[in-house]
């Protein structure tokens, strides 16, 4: 299927919702391999996995995290996932614990059939992550792929609209979001997660895709809420979100570059071109550049 706006073939993307076990890297990789293989068999060419999907999330100490973390791209998990991409012909974004010398990062890696394409290090650390990891120091990069321009964020980064906007201004067509969402105080039973609203709002106001892969289960008394989602550039989920209890894969077929066309809402309105950075600058603590890559 070819999109009428860009002439680029549509692809199937997958948000793979898993249930990692803390410390069981081998078992987690086996479950990931099975889930990604099944997604590829169903046509997926871009797959997003949860935050810290190979190690688990609730580290008891920095020392425990260090023992499980690895260098990128030479670490065993990254090499294993890269081999899987080559075997299946897919691109993949996965959340891992990264080690660089004595420093630890909550990272996401972008891998493809030809190897490691890029790394993002989580900028906004959540709660006890501040005692485990260093804040990300690689900025907010965007990577060109055969399927479109991809940015990455991790979990709590999604609570900062500036992060999505910065990626959109650099020309990102989609933001891949490995995440480990936890319950939000005040949420009533049966209500969609607050995070779903954030993903929809970010997609809508930037005319980008957001592919969020969450985890499920309870780890060291911390529950996780699932509801992985794939949101299109108009802000609406392309398919219903995943459930909140079980591992599950959500798939949608779309042209990731379609937001380039849909961003032009009408003759006068485009959410990036209509920005007024000179008005915002006195209140945001810095100068901003007007416009952004739109082609």
| 155 part of the active site | yes
| 122 part of the active site | yes
Question: What is the pLDDT at residue 188?
Answer: 83
Looking up residue 113, the CATH number of its domain turns out to be 3.60.110.10
Q: What is the C-alpha separation between 199 and 87, in angstroms, rounded?
A: 31
Question: What is the pLDDT at residue 291?
Answer: 47
Set 53, 122, 129, 199: catalytic member = 122
Domain presence at residue 236: yes
- Residue 67: pLDDT above 80? yes
Domain presence at residue 217: yes
Domain presence at residue 55: yes
Question: Model confidence over 140-179: pLDDT tens digits?
Answer: 999 999 999 999 999 999 999 999 999 999 999 999 999 9
Domain presence at residue 279: no
- Residue 288: pLDDT above 90? no
Q: What is the C-alpha separation between 179 and 155, in angstroms, rounded?
A: 4
Question: What is the pLDDT at residue 182?
Answer: 96
What's the 3-state SS for 254-289? ECHHHHHHHCCCCCCCCCCCCCCHHHHHHHHCCCCC
User: What total of structural domains would you count in the chain?
Assistant: 1
Set 85, 155, 176, 199: catalytic member = 155
Contacts 24+ apart (CB under 8 A), 132-135: 132/59, 132/61, 132/62, 132/65, 132/104, 132/106, 133/65, 133/104, 133/105, 133/106, 134/103, 134/104, 134/105
Question: What is the pLDDT at residue 286?
Answer: 60
CA-CA distances (angstroms) from residue 286 to 122, 191, 202, 236, 278?
22, 37, 21, 32, 10
- Residue 191: pLDDT above 60? yes
Domain presence at residue 288: no
Percent of the chain with pLDDT over 70: 94
Domain presence at residue 51: yes
Q: Nearest 5°: phi and psi at 3?
A: -75, 135
Over residues 210-236, the mean pLDDT reads: 98
Domain presence at residue 287: no
Q: Is 81 exposed, middle or buried (0-12, 13-18, 19+ CB in 10 A)?
A: buried
Over residues 206-222, the mean pLDDT reads: 98
Question: What is the pLDDT at residue 163?
Answer: 98
Domain presence at residue 6: no
pTM (2 d.p.): 0.94
- Cα 89 to chain center, whole Å? 20
What is the extent of the structural domain holding 144?
11-267
| pLDDT classification of 61: cutoffs 50, 70, 90 | very high
- Residue 2: pLDDT above 70? no
| 71 part of the active site | no
Residue 291 DSSP code: S
């Amino acid at each position: 299927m070819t999109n009428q706006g860009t002439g680029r073939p549509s692809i199937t993307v997958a948000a793979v919702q898993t249930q990692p076990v803390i410390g069981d890297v081998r078992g987690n990789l086996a479950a990931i391999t099975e889930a990604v293989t099944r997604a590829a068999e169903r046509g997926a060419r871009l797959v997003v996995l949860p935050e810290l999907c190979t190690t688990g999330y609730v580290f008891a100490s920095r020392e425990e995290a260090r023992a499980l973390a690895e260098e990128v791209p030479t670490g065993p998990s990254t090499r294993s996932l890269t081999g899987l991409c080559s075997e299946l012909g897919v691109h993949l974004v996965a959340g891992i614990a990264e080690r660089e010398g004595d420093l630890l990062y909550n990272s996401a890696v972008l891998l493809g059939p030809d190897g490691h394409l890029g790394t993002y290090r989580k900028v906004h650390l959540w709660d006890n992550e501040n005692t485990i990891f260093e804040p990300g120091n690689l900025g907010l990069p965007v990577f060109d792929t055969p399927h479109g321009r991809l940015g990455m964020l991790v979990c709590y980064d999604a609570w900062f609209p500036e992060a999505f906007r910065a990626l959109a201004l650099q020309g990102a067509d989609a933001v891949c979001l490995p995440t480990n969402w936890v319950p939000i105080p005040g949420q009533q039973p049966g209500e969609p997660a607050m995070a779903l609203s954030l993903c929809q709002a970010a997609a809508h106001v930037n005319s980008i895709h957001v592919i969020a892969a969450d985890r499920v289960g309870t780890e060291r008394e911390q529950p996780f809420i699932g509801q992985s989602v794939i949101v299109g550039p108009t802000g609406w989920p392309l398919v219903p979100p995943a459930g909140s209890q079980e591992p599950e894969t959500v798939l949608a077929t779309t042209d990731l570059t379609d937001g380039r066309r849909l961003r032009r809402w009408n003759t006068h309105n485009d959410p990036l071109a209509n920005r007024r950075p000179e008005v915002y600058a006195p209140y945001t603590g810095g100068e901003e550049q007007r416009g952004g890559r739109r082609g």
